Chains A and B, each alone.
Chain A
Amino acid sequence: MEYMGIDRDRLHFSWVSSAEASKFITVVKEVTASVKALGPATKFVKDRRQVS
């Protein structure tokens, strides 16, 4: 995704087991923080009227 021009911080991968509640929380916090820091996406956005 980065290769084609999507910011690395918009895409996150993690492996969280159902027993790892605290890891889940940390990951979600990190994801939201880094996406918020980037602001609204301008790439790969399709206006709802254009959805065909």
Chain B
Amino acid sequence: MIGYIDKIREVALKLLNEEKVDMVIGYRQGSLPMMTEPCFVKRPEDVETLIWDSNCRINLAAYLMDRKEKIGIIAKGCDSRNIINHLVENKIKREQLVIIGAPCKGMIDNKAIALQFGQDIDEYQETEDQITVKGGGTEKTFQKVDVLQENCAICNHRNPVVYDELAGDLVEEQTDIDRYEDIRKIEAMDIDEKWNFFEDMLSTCIRCYACRNACPLCYCPTCFVDESKPQWVGKSNDPNDTRTFHFLRAFHCAGRCTDCGACERACPMDIPVRLFTKKLGKDCLDLYGWEAGLDPEQRPPLDTFKPDDPNVGMK
């Protein structure tokens, strides 16, 4: 996977030189090791700033909404599914896009690595299977499978679903994974345990909305939490307001969330917000056999009616 960069730069250069696109959206090195930033390359001489490694966690589909230019974009499995969401929701047109697919073997959890390393990390290297970090005079090597982000470890769509170019060979999809073990655990709790579980989980939320801002689905011009006429939810970090924000956001993402993990990664307080969106993902799968972002021609379950739709809880 690490070798994709040559191909990515080659394709980006070609697209820009031939003026097939106005810009290429990709990743560049961030200010610290193991951090990348989204970048918008508009000039052929800047393609060298593009990078690719197991730290390209950000979901680039979040930068596509309502753009008018022609855009080249690098897409992992999850990004490509969010691009399909945008196509279905008319946020961008397919003919505006040249999708450079990056078959993905998972992104790594930099916070977990930093915690296990216990030192400031000054240098980072990776091979196909191993991650090595250096700092404070020591170094440590991790097996990549041991430090994958949780959502990547359980990802079942690593290959881009839609693409025009490929940065590397398609990878084998993971099939022997249990995507919903954590959700089933919560479902099995009794009603008070559930309430207390989320009360505790959300107790450190500072309502910074980083989770919302990182999410490619959260593109409303005015989010319901920001509206004041009417004010749907209090602005404080009162536990009721915080909970309202989280579960309503999850409902807004129902049938659309690709479990890309961008929300969780953005959270400064390490709150596992995917426990809300994943529950609705599981329900969509169980009730409608639906997984988001797999087919631009299919309407999502929440905007279609079928006479045999399950009437859960309806009297």
Contact = CB atoms under 8 A, between A and B. Distances in A.
Contact of B195 (A5, A12, A14, A15): A5
A19 interface: no
Interface residues of B, number: 24
Interface of B: 186-187, 191-199, 234-236, 238, 240-241, 243, 247, 276, 279, 313-315
Interface residues of A, number: 22
Interface string A1-44: 11111111001111100000000000100100000000000011
Given A12-B315, A14-B315, A15-B314, A46 B186 contact: no
A10 to B, nearest CB: 10
A50 to B, nearest CB: 6
A5 B191 contact: yes
Given A44-B240, A46-B238, A52-B236, A4 B315 contact: no
Contacts of B240: 44-46
Interface of A: 1-8, 11-15, 27, 30, 43-46, 50-52
Contacts of B186: 3
B240 to A, nearest CB: 5
A50 B241 CA distance: 11
A52 B276 CA distance: 25
A43 B313 CA distance: 21
A35 to B, nearest CB: 14
A20 to B, nearest CB: 12
Contacts of A50: 234, 236, 238
Interface residues of chain A: helix, strand, loop or mixed (majority): loop
A2 B191 contact: yes
15 contacts: A3-B186, A3-B194, A4-B194, A4-B195, A5-B191, A5-B192, A5-B196, A5-B197, A8-B191, A11-B313, A12-B315, A46-B238, A50-B234, A52-B234, A52-B236
B194 A5 contact: yes
Contacts of B197: 5
Contact of A3 (B235, B238, B279, B314): B279
Contact of B314 (A2, A14, A44): A14
B247 to A, nearest CB: 6
A27 B196 contact: no
A50 B242 CA distance: 14
Q: Which 7 A-B pairs have the closest CB atoms?
A: A5-B195, A5-B194, A14-B315, A52-B234, A46-B240, A52-B236, A13-B314
